[in-house]
């Protein structure tokens, strides 16, 4: 099985689906994390955008190593400036075709961050277009089985599919902790995104709460575009 997570920013994979990525990677599935941006706006004002992006790229690769993923890619979009356009939709079609995944993970459409909103729409529409032979890009058409959306408690996101990440919660937290530059940044922005106060503790508590909801030690929740899954996103 091949799994592709397309996330807007370098720390999004660990925050939203790190346990699931680690579980699939350990099973032997091919796991790729593609970042729309290098997160160059995620600084406290003392560094240039390029300095921030360089640090966050390194942090993302370190987090990928912790999760055990096969590939970490950056798609070249600008942080805070991801826009919906035909050109960008075709770029995402090409990304899907390049990796030919069975399952795609990405952001839920209802989200405070405009990059998350744009990413959700681009990936969803690219998913539809990726299989069409007359849509010409650099790679051959592909036909992923499903998209699973992850979301934030500040949105209308409601999980329907839960992945048991018992035994992987510490790995998820370990991956998040590689994003050293963002821990203080996100805490500093707690007034904007309240769930980012005490981020590590909050994510651990959220995982355990979702686990209790579905009868396991820890879980991550997703909303599928269609159909349902159980233990893994797809067996």
pLDDT in tens, 142-160: 999 999 999 987 678 999 9
Domain covering 2-224 in this structure, CATH number: 3.40.50.10320
Contact 132, 30 (CB under 8 A): no
**Cα(156)–Cα(130) distance, integer angstroms:** 28
Confidence of residue 191 (pLDDT cuts 50, 70, 90): very low
**Between 75 and 186, residue with greater pLDDT:** 75
pTM attached to this predicted model: 0.92
* Segment 23-80, tens digit of pLDDT: 999 999 999 999 999 999 887 666 799 999 999 999 999 999 999 999 999 999 999 9
Enter the DSSP assignment of 78. P
**Cα(90)–Cα(152) distance, integer angstroms:** 27
Tell me the residue ranges of DSSP E strands in 145-218. Answer: 146-150, 161-164
């Amino acid at each position: 099985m091949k799994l592709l997570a397309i996330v807007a920013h370098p720390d999004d994979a660990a925050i939203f689906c790190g346990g699931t990525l680690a579980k699939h990677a350990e099973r032997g599935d091919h796991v790729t994390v593609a970042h729309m941006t290098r997160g160059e706006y995620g600084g406290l004002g003392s560094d240039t955008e390029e300095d921030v992006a360089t640090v966050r790229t390194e942090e993302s690769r370190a987090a990928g190593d912790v999760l055990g993923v096969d590939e970490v890619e950056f798609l070249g979009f600008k942080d805070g400036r991801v826009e919906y356009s035909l050109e960008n939709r075709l770029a995402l079609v090409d990304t899907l075709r390049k990796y030919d995944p069975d399952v795609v993970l990405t952001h839920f459409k209802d989200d405070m961050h405009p990059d998350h909103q744009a990413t959700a729409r681009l990936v969803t529409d690219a998913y539809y277009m990726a299989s069409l032979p007359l849509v010409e890009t650099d790679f051959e058409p592909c036909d992923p089985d499903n998209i699973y959306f992850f979301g934030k408690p500040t949105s209308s996101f409601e999980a329907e599919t839960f992945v048991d990440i018992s035994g992987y919660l510490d790995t998820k937290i370990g991956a998040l902790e590689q994003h050293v530059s963002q821990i203080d940044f996100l805490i500093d922005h707690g007034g904007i995104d309240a769930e980012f106060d005490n981020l590590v503790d909050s994510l651990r508590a959220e995982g355990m709460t979702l686990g209790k909801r579905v009868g396991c030690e820890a879980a991550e929740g997703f909303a599928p575009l269609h159909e349902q899954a159980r233990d893994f996103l797809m067996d």
